Structure 1
Amino acid sequence: MPPLPDREPAVQALMLASRALVGLTVRALADVEADVTIPQFRTLVVLSARGSMRGADIAEELNVNPSTGTRMTDRLVAKGLVRRVRSTDDRRAVQLRLTRAGHDIVETVMARRRAELERIVGETAPLWQPAVTEALTAFATAAGEMPEHQWWMGWTRHADDLS
């Protein structure tokens, strides 16, 4: 389906903004000690937001094949950022949880991203009309993202998940 002409400027602006946001994440990840890829970081963010999850649920959340999700979580377990925990109710069920090190990486990267975004928004302050903020919020919601205050505070709620 070809893009609709009236939507093309918005799509192009979002493509440019998404590249800038990925760049912010890459730079923030480069500053942390652990060797974490963007997909691995996204997995850590999902676990920080949702708490313990089954591997299949993480793969579904990330929209990847279960085998891809398994390989990714295996690497995060090997790095000590995620741990596997068997359910006390069903020993066959395995949940994945953030470790303290995984939590610390998410917290550090998000704080660095936020500081950089605050700097950029400060430099472009006159452009941030309520309609722009509302449009970006609606875009994120349509993409399935939850507001920062809902998942960022989830660490307190899921503190028992951290080892």
Structure 2
Amino acid sequence: MNGRVTGALSEDDPVVEAVLTASRALVGVAARSIAAAGGDVTLPQYRALVLMAARGPQRLIDLADALDVNRSTATRMCDRLVAKQLVRRSRLPSDRRTLRIALTAQGRALVDGVTQKRKADLARILNQLTQEQRAAVVAALSAFAEAADEKEVPARADVPEL
């Protein structure tokens, strides 16, 4: 984190309040983009789809770890995504006990569609800002993402399907 921490913030600090307000706006954009894509997908399910799009086929246990959920929760989520034909499960030939999951073409299309809708909505919102305000948004959000240890994830990873 570059060692720039100067003091602890309280829960009611104006910076915390501003980020909370902005996060509500961003969640709203996310929810609207998912709803517009159809497919009856929840926000946590969509998060799982994005991780699979970025990381490619993976073991169920690895997805559970990435989502920070129990394996049973990830299993139930994948059951629902399989039923919606958005992911496919298979067993590894080298270890028949290990489940591997991957996006289907339909799942990849959903992630791509939601991403495009989200980008369009964000561009519409950001077009209301001045150039100086946009530069400040880039600087602030980049610093925030770095502090949160968030890695940039490509909108579409070119990974093979199972």
Give the 5 Å matches for 1:67-106.
67-106=72-111
| Partner Cα separation in structure 1 for residue 90 and residue 11 of structure 2 | 50
Q: 1:119 maps to which residue?
A: 124
Whole-Å separation in 2 of the counterparts to 1:5 and 1:89? 51
| Distance apart, 1:132 and its partner CA | 3.6
**Which structure is higher in strand share?**
2
**Does the 8 Å CA contact 2:90/2:99 hold for their aligned counterparts?**
yes
2:93 aligned counterpart, secondary structure:
coil
Provide the aligned length of Structure 1 versus Structure 2: 154
For the structure 1 residues 153 and 41, does the alpha-carbon distance in structure 2 shift closer, same or farther, using more than 3 Å as the test?
closer
Deviations, residues 29-63 of structure 1 (Å, cap 9, x unaligned): 11123110000000000100111111111111111
TM-score when normalising by structure 1: 0.85
Q: What's the offset of the Cα at 1:153? A: 4.3
1:6 to partner: Cα distance: 10
The separation in 2 between residues aligned to 1:109 and 1:60, in whole angstroms, is: 24
2:134 counterpart of 1:128: yes
Q: What is the root-mean-square deviation of aligned Cα atoms in Å?
A: 2.0
Shift of 1:88: 2.3
Which of 26, 36, 39 lines up with 1:34 in the alignment?
A: 39
Q: How far did residue 74 of structure 1 move?
A: 0.8
The whole-number CA distance in structure 2 between the counterparts of 1:6 and 1:82 is: 39
Q: Between Structure 1 and Structure 2, which shows a larger proportion of helix residues?
A: 1
- Residues 43 and 122 of structure 1, relative CA distance in 2, 3 Å threshold: same
2: CA distance between counterparts of 1:132 and 1:105?
28
Q: 2:70 aligns with which of 52, 58, 65?
A: 65
